[in-house]
Amino acid sequence: MEGRMQVFAGTSHPALVADIMTELNAPLGRAVVSTWKNGETRVKLDENVRGSDVFVIQSLCDPVNHNIMELLLIIDALRRASADRITAVIPYFGYARQEKKTTGREPISAKLVANLIVTAGAHRVLAIDLHAPAIEGFFDIPVDHLRATPLLARRYGREHQGPIVAVSPDAGGVTRAEDFRARVGGSLAIISKQRPDADATEVIEMVGDVDGKTSVIIDDMISTASTLAVAADLLTDRGAQAVHAAATHGVFAGEAIERILSSSISKVYVTDTIPFPHDELGDRLEVVTVAPLLAEAMMRIHKDLSVSALFT
Protein backbone atom coordinates (compact mmCIF):
# COMPACT_ATOMS: atom_id res chain seq x y z
CA MET A 1 0.00 0.00 0.00
CA GLU A 2 1.44 3.39 -0.99
CA GLY A 3 -0.18 5.52 1.74
CA ARG A 4 1.47 5.98 5.13
CA MET A 5 0.50 3.62 7.94
CA GLN A 6 -1.37 5.09 10.91
CA VAL A 7 -2.82 3.32 13.93
CA PHE A 8 -5.67 4.46 16.18
CA ALA A 9 -7.37 2.66 19.04
CA GLY A 10 -10.42 2.59 21.22
CA THR A 11 -10.28 2.40 25.01
CA SER A 12 -11.03 -1.32 25.46
CA HIS A 13 -7.46 -2.62 25.88
CA PRO A 14 -4.78 0.08 26.26
CA ALA A 15 -2.13 -2.38 27.48
CA LEU A 16 -2.33 -4.52 24.35
CA VAL A 17 -2.38 -1.41 22.15
CA ALA A 18 0.80 -0.15 23.83
CA ASP A 19 2.51 -3.51 23.28
CA ILE A 20 1.51 -3.56 19.61
CA MET A 21 2.84 -0.04 19.07
CA THR A 22 6.10 -1.06 20.76
CA GLU A 23 6.38 -3.95 18.32
CA LEU A 24 5.67 -1.60 15.40
CA ASN A 25 8.09 0.98 16.82
CA ALA A 26 5.60 3.71 15.95
CA PRO A 27 3.46 6.25 17.83
CA LEU A 28 -0.26 5.72 18.30
CA GLY A 29 -2.46 8.13 16.35
CA ARG A 30 -3.74 11.07 18.37
CA ALA A 31 -7.48 11.05 18.96
CA VAL A 32 -10.06 11.87 21.60
CA VAL A 33 -12.08 8.78 22.50
CA SER A 34 -14.22 9.45 25.55
CA THR A 35 -17.79 9.78 26.78
CA TRP A 36 -19.99 12.86 26.83
CA LYS A 37 -21.76 13.72 30.09
CA ASN A 38 -25.01 12.36 28.63
CA GLY A 39 -23.42 8.93 28.18
CA GLU A 40 -22.86 9.15 24.41
CA THR A 41 -19.48 8.19 22.96
CA ARG A 42 -17.26 11.02 21.74
CA VAL A 43 -14.63 10.58 19.02
CA LYS A 44 -12.40 13.23 17.44
CA LEU A 45 -9.30 12.59 15.36
CA ASP A 46 -6.41 14.93 16.08
CA GLU A 47 -4.32 13.94 13.06
CA ASN A 48 -4.64 14.22 9.29
CA VAL A 49 -5.46 10.78 7.85
CA ARG A 50 -6.21 11.71 4.24
CA GLY A 51 -4.85 9.02 1.91
CA SER A 52 -3.48 6.92 4.79
CA ASP A 53 -3.62 3.18 5.41
CA VAL A 54 -5.26 3.19 8.83
CA PHE A 55 -5.64 0.43 11.44
CA VAL A 56 -8.11 0.68 14.32
CA ILE A 57 -7.42 -1.60 17.31
CA GLN A 58 -10.41 -2.42 19.50
CA SER A 59 -11.21 -5.59 21.42
CA LEU A 60 -14.97 -6.07 21.70
CA CYS A 61 -14.92 -7.23 25.31
CA ASP A 62 -16.89 -6.05 28.33
CA PRO A 63 -18.48 -3.47 28.19
CA VAL A 64 -19.20 -5.00 24.78
CA ASN A 65 -21.83 -2.60 23.44
CA HIS A 66 -19.81 0.47 24.45
CA ASN A 67 -16.66 -0.90 22.81
CA ILE A 68 -18.54 -1.73 19.62
CA MET A 69 -19.88 1.82 19.47
CA GLU A 70 -16.39 3.25 19.92
CA LEU A 71 -15.10 1.12 17.06
CA LEU A 72 -17.94 2.14 14.75
CA LEU A 73 -17.52 5.86 15.46
CA ILE A 74 -13.74 5.76 14.98
CA ILE A 75 -14.19 3.98 11.65
CA ASP A 76 -16.85 6.50 10.58
CA ALA A 77 -14.60 9.42 11.54
CA LEU A 78 -11.73 7.94 9.52
CA ARG A 79 -13.96 7.37 6.50
CA ARG A 80 -15.26 10.95 6.62
CA ALA A 81 -11.67 12.21 6.99
CA SER A 82 -10.75 10.48 3.69
CA ALA A 83 -8.57 7.64 4.95
CA ASP A 84 -7.63 5.52 1.95
CA ARG A 85 -8.05 2.13 3.65
CA ILE A 86 -9.41 1.24 7.10
CA THR A 87 -8.64 -2.08 8.77
CA ALA A 88 -10.51 -3.00 11.94
CA VAL A 89 -8.14 -4.94 14.20
CA ILE A 90 -10.40 -6.93 16.54
CA PRO A 91 -8.44 -9.25 18.88
CA TYR A 92 -11.68 -10.48 20.46
CA PHE A 93 -14.92 -10.35 18.47
CA GLY A 94 -17.92 -9.82 20.74
CA TYR A 95 -21.23 -11.60 20.07
CA ALA A 96 -19.27 -14.37 18.32
CA ARG A 97 -21.21 -17.08 20.19
CA GLN A 98 -24.44 -15.76 18.72
CA GLU A 99 -23.60 -16.80 15.17
CA LYS A 100 -26.74 -18.86 14.57
CA LYS A 101 -30.30 -19.23 15.75
CA THR A 102 -30.73 -21.88 18.43
CA THR A 103 -34.47 -21.34 18.89
CA GLY A 104 -37.17 -19.42 17.10
CA ARG A 105 -37.42 -15.62 17.13
CA GLU A 106 -33.73 -15.01 17.92
CA PRO A 107 -31.34 -12.58 16.19
CA ILE A 108 -28.08 -13.66 14.58
CA SER A 109 -26.15 -11.06 16.53
CA ALA A 110 -22.68 -11.79 15.12
CA LYS A 111 -23.98 -11.11 11.61
CA LEU A 112 -25.50 -7.80 12.72
CA VAL A 113 -22.21 -6.67 14.30
CA ALA A 114 -20.39 -7.60 11.08
CA ASN A 115 -22.90 -5.57 9.06
CA LEU A 116 -22.40 -2.55 11.33
CA ILE A 117 -18.61 -2.66 10.94
CA VAL A 118 -18.88 -2.85 7.14
CA THR A 119 -21.52 -0.12 7.00
CA ALA A 120 -19.39 2.17 9.19
CA GLY A 121 -16.70 2.04 6.51
CA ALA A 122 -14.14 -0.66 7.30
CA HIS A 123 -12.38 -2.08 4.24
CA ARG A 124 -11.03 -5.20 5.93
CA VAL A 125 -10.96 -6.98 9.30
CA LEU A 126 -8.10 -8.58 11.24
CA ALA A 127 -9.30 -10.92 14.01
CA ILE A 128 -8.04 -13.75 16.19
CA ASP A 129 -9.88 -17.05 16.65
CA LEU A 130 -13.44 -16.19 15.76
CA HIS A 131 -15.74 -18.55 17.65
CA ALA A 132 -17.17 -20.03 14.44
CA PRO A 133 -15.55 -20.09 10.97
CA ALA A 134 -18.89 -19.01 9.48
CA ILE A 135 -18.40 -15.53 10.96
CA GLU A 136 -15.77 -14.83 8.30
CA GLY A 137 -18.56 -15.12 5.74
CA PHE A 138 -20.68 -12.58 7.60
CA PHE A 139 -18.37 -9.83 6.33
CA ASP A 140 -18.61 -8.60 2.74
CA ILE A 141 -15.00 -7.42 3.00
CA PRO A 142 -11.71 -9.34 3.34
CA VAL A 143 -11.10 -10.98 6.73
CA ASP A 144 -7.65 -12.04 7.94
CA HIS A 145 -8.41 -14.69 10.57
CA LEU A 146 -5.39 -15.37 12.76
CA ARG A 147 -4.97 -18.40 15.05
CA ALA A 148 -3.46 -18.28 18.52
CA THR A 149 -2.94 -22.05 18.89
CA PRO A 150 0.69 -21.87 17.69
CA LEU A 151 1.47 -19.25 20.35
CA LEU A 152 -0.19 -21.25 23.12
CA ALA A 153 1.44 -24.50 22.01
CA ARG A 154 4.88 -22.89 21.84
CA ARG A 155 4.57 -21.47 25.36
CA TYR A 156 3.12 -24.68 26.78
CA GLY A 157 5.79 -26.81 25.11
CA ARG A 158 8.55 -24.71 26.71
CA GLU A 159 7.12 -25.16 30.21
CA HIS A 160 5.92 -28.77 30.11
CA GLN A 161 7.99 -31.70 28.91
CA GLY A 162 6.68 -35.13 27.98
CA PRO A 163 3.60 -36.31 26.08
CA ILE A 164 0.22 -34.84 26.84
CA VAL A 165 -3.36 -35.52 25.85
CA ALA A 166 -4.93 -32.59 24.00
CA VAL A 167 -8.63 -32.61 24.85
CA SER A 168 -11.32 -31.06 22.69
CA PRO A 169 -14.29 -30.14 24.92
CA ASP A 170 -16.69 -30.61 21.98
CA ALA A 171 -16.78 -31.98 18.46
CA GLY A 172 -16.43 -28.50 16.93
CA GLY A 173 -13.02 -27.94 18.52
CA VAL A 174 -11.30 -31.11 17.30
CA THR A 175 -9.26 -29.30 14.63
CA ARG A 176 -7.95 -26.81 17.20
CA ALA A 177 -7.03 -29.55 19.67
CA GLU A 178 -5.37 -31.63 16.96
CA ASP A 179 -3.28 -28.62 15.90
CA PHE A 180 -2.15 -28.15 19.51
CA ARG A 181 -1.35 -31.87 19.84
CA ALA A 182 0.66 -31.89 16.63
CA ARG A 183 2.80 -29.00 17.87
CA VAL A 184 3.35 -30.23 21.44
CA GLY A 185 3.22 -34.00 20.97
CA GLY A 186 0.98 -36.59 22.55
CA SER A 187 -2.47 -37.93 21.82
CA LEU A 188 -6.00 -36.64 21.34
CA ALA A 189 -9.23 -37.03 23.31
CA ILE A 190 -12.69 -35.73 22.45
CA ILE A 191 -15.55 -34.94 24.82
CA SER A 192 -19.09 -35.04 23.51
CA LYS A 193 -21.37 -32.53 25.20
CA GLN A 194 -24.65 -30.74 24.88
CA ARG A 195 -25.97 -27.48 26.34
CA PRO A 196 -29.34 -27.68 28.11
CA ASP A 197 -29.26 -23.87 28.08
CA ALA A 198 -26.86 -21.12 27.01
CA ASP A 199 -24.46 -21.24 29.98
CA ALA A 200 -24.81 -24.85 31.14
CA THR A 201 -22.89 -27.88 29.92
CA GLU A 202 -23.80 -31.55 30.08
CA VAL A 203 -21.23 -34.20 29.15
CA ILE A 204 -22.40 -37.24 27.21
CA GLU A 205 -19.21 -39.28 26.69
CA MET A 206 -15.48 -39.09 26.01
CA VAL A 207 -13.29 -40.81 23.44
CA GLY A 208 -9.60 -41.23 24.27
CA ASP A 209 -7.31 -42.47 27.06
CA VAL A 210 -6.16 -39.96 29.70
CA ASP A 211 -5.31 -42.37 32.53
CA GLY A 212 -2.06 -41.34 34.23
CA LYS A 213 -1.42 -38.56 31.70
CA THR A 214 -1.45 -34.76 31.70
CA SER A 215 -4.59 -33.54 29.95
CA VAL A 216 -4.84 -30.11 28.32
CA ILE A 217 -8.33 -28.85 27.48
CA ILE A 218 -8.09 -26.75 24.30
CA ASP A 219 -10.79 -24.19 23.55
CA ASP A 220 -11.21 -20.86 21.79
CA MET A 221 -12.53 -19.06 24.89
CA ILE A 222 -13.19 -19.41 28.58
CA SER A 223 -16.48 -17.67 29.26
CA THR A 224 -18.38 -18.93 32.31
CA ALA A 225 -15.96 -21.90 32.64
CA SER A 226 -18.86 -24.32 32.96
CA THR A 227 -17.46 -26.39 30.08
CA LEU A 228 -13.99 -26.38 31.67
CA ALA A 229 -15.24 -27.44 35.09
CA VAL A 230 -17.37 -30.29 33.75
CA ALA A 231 -14.58 -31.48 31.45
CA ALA A 232 -12.02 -31.32 34.25
CA ASP A 233 -14.22 -33.44 36.53
CA LEU A 234 -14.60 -36.04 33.79
CA LEU A 235 -10.86 -36.13 33.05
CA THR A 236 -10.05 -36.51 36.75
CA ASP A 237 -12.58 -39.32 37.06
CA ARG A 238 -10.91 -41.04 34.09
CA GLY A 239 -7.53 -40.96 35.86
CA ALA A 240 -5.82 -37.87 34.43
CA GLN A 241 -2.61 -37.13 36.32
CA ALA A 242 -3.05 -33.37 35.92
CA VAL A 243 -5.55 -31.14 34.14
CA HIS A 244 -4.56 -27.93 32.37
CA ALA A 245 -6.45 -25.60 30.04
CA ALA A 246 -5.41 -23.46 27.09
CA ALA A 247 -7.72 -20.98 25.38
CA THR A 248 -7.35 -17.90 23.23
CA HIS A 249 -9.86 -15.57 24.88
CA GLY A 250 -10.10 -15.26 28.66
CA VAL A 251 -13.58 -13.80 29.06
CA PHE A 252 -14.01 -15.10 32.65
CA ALA A 253 -17.67 -14.10 32.91
CA GLY A 254 -19.93 -14.58 35.91
CA GLU A 255 -18.62 -17.21 38.32
CA ALA A 256 -15.84 -18.42 36.01
CA ILE A 257 -13.01 -17.68 38.43
CA GLU A 258 -14.75 -19.50 41.29
CA ARG A 259 -15.44 -22.52 39.06
CA ILE A 260 -11.79 -22.76 38.02
CA LEU A 261 -10.51 -22.35 41.59
CA SER A 262 -12.82 -25.11 42.84
CA SER A 263 -11.92 -27.45 39.96
CA SER A 264 -8.97 -29.79 39.44
CA ILE A 265 -7.44 -27.46 36.82
CA SER A 266 -3.95 -26.53 38.01
CA LYS A 267 -2.87 -24.31 35.10
CA VAL A 268 -4.75 -22.02 32.69
CA TYR A 269 -3.10 -20.55 29.59
CA VAL A 270 -4.83 -17.68 27.78
CA THR A 271 -3.74 -14.86 25.49
CA ASP A 272 -4.14 -11.15 26.17
CA THR A 273 -6.86 -10.48 23.58
CA ILE A 274 -8.96 -9.37 26.58
CA PRO A 275 -7.58 -7.31 29.51
CA PHE A 276 -7.25 -8.94 32.94
CA PRO A 277 -8.54 -6.66 35.70
CA HIS A 278 -8.16 -9.39 38.32
CA ASP A 279 -5.48 -11.67 39.74
CA GLU A 280 -7.63 -14.16 41.64
CA LEU A 281 -6.21 -17.08 39.69
CA GLY A 282 -2.70 -16.25 40.90
CA ASP A 283 -0.07 -18.77 39.81
CA ARG A 284 -2.64 -20.84 37.94
CA LEU A 285 -2.88 -18.22 35.18
CA GLU A 286 -0.32 -17.85 32.39
CA VAL A 287 -0.86 -15.06 29.83
CA VAL A 288 0.62 -15.28 26.33
CA THR A 289 0.75 -12.01 24.41
CA VAL A 290 -0.63 -11.68 20.88
CA ALA A 291 0.99 -8.28 20.33
CA PRO A 292 3.85 -9.54 18.10
CA LEU A 293 1.41 -11.61 16.03
CA LEU A 294 -0.97 -8.69 15.46
CA ALA A 295 1.86 -6.24 14.77
CA GLU A 296 3.36 -8.58 12.16
CA ALA A 297 -0.04 -9.12 10.53
CA MET A 298 -0.71 -5.38 10.41
CA MET A 299 2.64 -4.71 8.80
CA ARG A 300 2.09 -7.47 6.25
CA ILE A 301 -1.34 -6.07 5.36
CA HIS A 302 0.15 -2.60 4.97
CA LYS A 303 2.90 -3.90 2.69
CA ASP A 304 0.49 -6.14 0.74
CA LEU A 305 2.35 -9.28 1.83
CA SER A 306 0.88 -12.68 2.58
CA VAL A 307 -0.74 -13.09 5.99
CA SER A 308 -1.15 -16.85 5.50
CA ALA A 309 2.53 -17.33 6.35
CA LEU A 310 1.66 -16.50 9.97
CA PHE A 311 -0.55 -19.60 10.26
CA THR A 312 2.39 -22.03 10.32
Catalytic annotation, residues: 193
- CA dist 275 and 18 (Å) reads 12
Q: How far apart are the first and last CA of the chain?
A: 24
* Rounded-to-integer distance, Cα 119 and Cα 66, Å: 18
Measured CA to CA, the distance from residue 60 to residue 178 in angstroms comes to 28
Contact 222, 276 (CB under 8 A): no
**Strand 124-128's sheet: what is its strand order?**
5-9, 53-57, 85-90, 124-128, 143-146
Which residues have a Cβ under 8 Å from the Cβ of 16 and sit 6 or more positions away? 57, 59, 91, 272, 273, 275, 289, 290, 291
